[in-house]
Structure 1
């Protein structure tokens, strides 16, 4: 669901990309039907797309704020991606003066990498790509400036967007004009891409760790005790109580780190003057209290089952 047009010349690189992103969910066979109609150019407007999706029972969400271009080093990077069940597939074009590379990744693993000197690279579905190629062949003036080429690409993106909902009317245009010869360009591309892929791998690792931590937190949150006995008073110091947890209760801090295991003591606070050693502590309808008279207690821990 993208259209990226890149021009790589002797004096620099300019890229234009739409900002459309489409998410959809539904029956796999009906999704394939919808995609085929989209990519063949049978559906020409957002309204028609939504109506056809409704007919097929497909839920769709269209946004026009995706960022598909980025300046990386002295290069412009364009990326289209497809999210699969387990991994995200990415196609990238990196361009600079006198050189470009095309990189394909699954997750953060490079599966394909090719290089070129100068030319035009287009990423998009068949309908959008062919339409863009026709318009470029009619309008491209090799002697025009990078700025003029960028403006032409922007116009072409909008014309294509008027014919297919797979491309959005909003777009970005970026350019870079370093003074590289062909060998310098490829050396810079190699270093830039290697570092960029490492950044992606590190980002994915951090994201994975966050997801794992969130999963742990969700599971622990399910164990928060809302009702039931949690322990007994074993020591009293004014309004401070030392409560020994029973064999089914543990105490966690706000980061879900265990502070006290079953059988260990936690500190609680009371305003009652009638607390005795051995009094049972309970949670009654989410309220922490003494079991005998429901006197409220306070503590700075999260009480969970083991």
Structure 2
């Protein structure tokens, strides 16, 4: 399979890339792990291809106490090995296979906006942002919150002429744990359903905040705040027997049901909508328990 003809551009800096994108209607090439197959199958036929791989300034991972900023050319494998954010690192280990992670980019996955992909869910549950730039006589940037960035299946807020230059993942607070659970037909496949969770505990190991983002059960990542549903859940009682353990079990189960109610799964050749809804409930409870368990360990550290 071969792609249709296109004009190739290879800018050397961000300004040149933005000027090119302002002049032509084309696609940006970073990792190419989604774009190139689409072109080869003639599902995408851009007249211009703007290759940003020579722009070294987009290859940085900048970590600070407030969060992690990942440049547009940071590969999945580089971000994983950097280990700058626990939930991002955890999610990256679930992305496809090593050969894909060695070329694919974190920001490229976000812009591709596949609702079955892991990284959009991570950005969404953390309430992160994507920095987008355009040329207006000079480089003009805007930060788009995750809740506004994913606009539909394979659709993002990046407009023609714009370039996503980085993504920002806010840091976790104290006594906070994370987890990512998913089920796929084969290792490396897109998940039938997945859930990432962030749970914060107080000094007594009680849940003070809990959020999940679901993969593969809606047109965009489905984010649910389950703090109220987790009332009574105790991070120290996630495996307990007796009254305290039963109370914790009810809290996690109530949260899982709340997540199920917010999902809009569809049936396909791989799984029915009913199975996906059941699966997301099981995974939500598991992810919340595991995140609380990690938060308890962090609390005691």
- Name the one with the larger strand percent: 1
Q: Give the TM-score, by structure 2 length.
A: 0.24
- Name the one with the larger helix percent: 2
Q: Give the TM-score, by structure 1 length.
A: 0.23
